[in-house]
Amino acid sequence: MLTIYKSRNKYPDKLRRIRYHVPETGKLLTFITNNFTLPALTIAELYRSRWQIELFFKWIKQHLRIKAFYGTSENAVKTQIWSAVCAYVLVAILRKRLDLEHLSLYTILQLVSVTAFEQLPILQAFSRDAYTFANPDIRNQLQLFNL
């Protein structure tokens, strides 16, 4: 049973504490579950699998730039993830084929999102002088620190 007053009131049922020693790292992990039928090793493996899923979603948020899902159905989530994975793979292919190893995938995604609707050759979009003006006097932009 939970011992803290607020926790015990919110979950008054019995719980099971499982300790698992990880042989590879030597860590002692403790899990709490309300499942009294499965063996302790099975519970530990389920938590390990769950952690892998958490790491996968962390990777998705960091690399695929998915902050929230637009739909809640299984099909909507799968569609959004597959679309983001396809975009990520296309950018990785673009990076490899154009020899843009000096740019991160995040930087390339940013440049593509900014220049998506411009009529600009793709190689020129990734060059350092992509946005220099032919005649500097025509610019309608103020100089900052004479850069």
Helix axes 105-115, 74-97, angle to 10 degrees: 100
Q: What's the pTM?
A: 0.52
Contact by Cβ (8 Å): 70, 79: no
Q: What confidence tens digit (pLDDT) does each residue in 57-98 have?
A: 888 888 787 888 889 899 998 999 899 889 889 888 988 888
**Torsion, CA 60, CA 65, CA 70, CA 73, rounded to 10:** -10
- Dihedral of alpha carbons 14, 8, 51, 75, sign: positive
